[in-house]
Amino acid sequence: MKDLWFFLKLFKPHSAWLAGGIALSLLTAFASIALLTLSGWFISASAIAGLIALDGNTLIFNYMLPAAQIRTLAITRTLGRYGERIVTHEATFRVLAGIRSWFFRQLVPLAPGRLSTMRSGDLLSRMTADIDALDALYLRLLAPAVVAAVGITAVTVFLAFYAPVISLTTGLMLVIASVWVPWIFNRLGSAGAEEIVVLAANFRIRQLDMIQGLADLIANQAYGRFSDKLVQFSDLMISIQRRNNRLSAISSAFTLLLSQITLLMALMLAAVAFKDGLLSGTDSAVVVFCVIAAFELVTPLPQALQMLGKTQKAARRIRQVTEMPPTITPAAQPLALPGCYDLQLNEVSFRYPDQQERVLKNISLVIPQGGKIAIVGPSGSGKTTLLQLLMRYYDPEQGSVLLAGQDIRQFDADELMSCFGVLSQRSQLFAATIRENLLIARPDASLAELNAAVKAAGLENFIGYLPEGLETWVGESGVKVSGGEARRIALARLYLKNAPVLILDEPTEGLDRDTERDVFTALANFSKDKTVVMVTHREAGLGLVDVVYSMEQGVLREL
């Protein structure tokens, strides 16, 4: 329950909406119970009055007042139910929006180092489905439990004024129906509910993998095998869901059985009380109809508690991500960024948390401001890891990384990123327009600055041919533009940021020879007064730098 309690604390900013929803739920529940109870009394009183009139005796019976009260209660119940749905759902949406904002804030310190170890489909499932599952925490657990607790107490007290024995009996049966039955079915259904969460997450991961790799699956005639695996997941989920639905049906039937047993007991006790002159005929009707209506308070609880395991599992999966330790420790009192950008690595060694072997081994390197170096070597030799240490995606296990003579751990990580402009083979294009993709680097850039960046990146002719120009939609991950055009857009974004240190990680990987030459020509013009650190395993572009280093198995040496 500690996972659910943790998220309940996040509900506090929306407590007014949550309390309003519960208040309307209570109003609706009391109106419903009062409506049935008063209706039973009214029908019984009218019948008794009619029987007395047939005997020749007159009876003054004011049927206008209870009739008006019944209409009022009916209208109150209807309006209350409508208001309850609006307010409780509005409260839920606000809570979920708040949790999503909180979740994204917790992710920021984990990016990119820690999040790179997670599968994107799994992270997406936690962001969406698992957070959505928390709606049950208020709608199906908290609000119904509060309404049931307050309602059972009120009904028991109300019945005590008429028949204490019936009050105690009804209260006991209501407690059994609201506590014992939900507890039993929660124990029976929690394992299946938790398993559904995990299976659904794996199902979404496989769906995402299939969509992203659909072309390769078809080309390798593997679509059928992957599809069959997905069907197996689906069949297993359906089987578990069917078992959970069976438990839900049994719990509802058991609650109904308890209500009928309670009604039978109330009828018998009311008959005895009537015979002994302790209850009048109309009071007997009040008691019986109140007992009938009271079980509406506990009907939702068994099914809700049965799915408690699903909500707990979803909450646990969300917390597992947010409680992951970041790969860097923020500076307690960060220093202001210096005015120069000399970079230095002193005896730096590093290994990833899940690996035994060191990726970098005693690296020492000096890059003066304006210096231009390239690091070549085979894939997996540690080149990209060195770049990540320079930008402080990770902190070194041993040694230090210095900027202008100061350890970069003394600077604010976000401010430090303003020193670096990055161009890699995986520069992300977002599902937006070309203009919006460029403005990521500088949101306040003017049209003249955008046009200058476009021209410097060699995009002028391409954009000139587009009917919508800079407003052209590039599609998800830039699917509507070619690889070369996507790299030029990323290059224009690099120009627009205009950072003093350029980090180039395989900047022309996957490009044809002509596009590669154009990109390096543009980079040479742009980087004349900037520091350049380029990682590559190709000879093209080495004319851009002054010094070339080789990286092999985490060891750096100058060529």
Domains and CATH numbers, the chain: 2-322 (1.20.1560.10), 343-558 (3.40.50.300)
Q: CA 522 to CA 457: how far, in whole Å?
A: 6
Low-confidence winner among 99-103, 284-288, 506-510 (lowest mean pLDDT): 506-510
Instruction: Report helix, strand or coil for 505.
Output: strand
Task: Give the pLDDT of residue 555.
Answer: 87
Does the pLDDT of residue 173 top 80, yes or no? yes
Contact 313, 369 (CB under 8 A): no
Low-confidence winner among 51-60, 203-212, 229-238, 331-340 (lowest mean pLDDT): 51-60
Q: Using the 8-state DSSP alphabet, how is residue 475 labeled?
A: -
- Tens of pLDDT, residue by residue over 312-337, are 888 888 888 888 888 888 888 888 88
Q: Average the pLDDT over 52-64 and give the result.
A: 58
Task: Give the pLDDT of residue 321.
Answer: 85
DSSP 30-76: HHHHHHHHHHHHHHHHHHHHHHHHHTT-------HHHHHHHHHHHHH
Element (H, E) at 423: strand 420-424
- Greatest mean pLDDT among 387-401, 416-430, 464-478 lies in 387-401
CA gyration radius, the chain:
35
Does the pLDDT of residue 54 top 60, yes or no? no
Kindly state the tokens that stand for 481.
Answer: 């533009």
Fill in the amino acid letter for 402: L
Kindly state the tokens that stand for 513.
Answer: 């020879």
Fill in the amino acid letter for 312: Q
pTM exceeding 0.95 = no
- Tens of pLDDT, residue by residue over 135-150, are 888 888 888 889 999 9
What residue has token string 């950072």?
499
> Using CB atoms within 10 A of its CB, is residue 138 exposed (0-12), middle (13-18) or buried (19+)?
buried
Does the pLDDT of residue 194 top 90, yes or no? no
Q: CA 460 to CA 451: how far, in whole Å?
A: 8
Question: Could you give the percent of the chain with pLDDT greater than 70?
Answer: 97
Q: CA 338 to CA 437: how far, in whole Å?
A: 29
Q: Average the pLDDT over 385-390 and give the result.
A: 89
Does the pLDDT of residue 83 top 90, yes or no? yes
> Which residues are CB-contacts of 260 (< 8 A; sequence separation ≥ 6)?
none
Task: Give the pLDDT of residue 147.
Answer: 92
Half-sphere exposure of 375 (CA within 13 A, CB side): 26
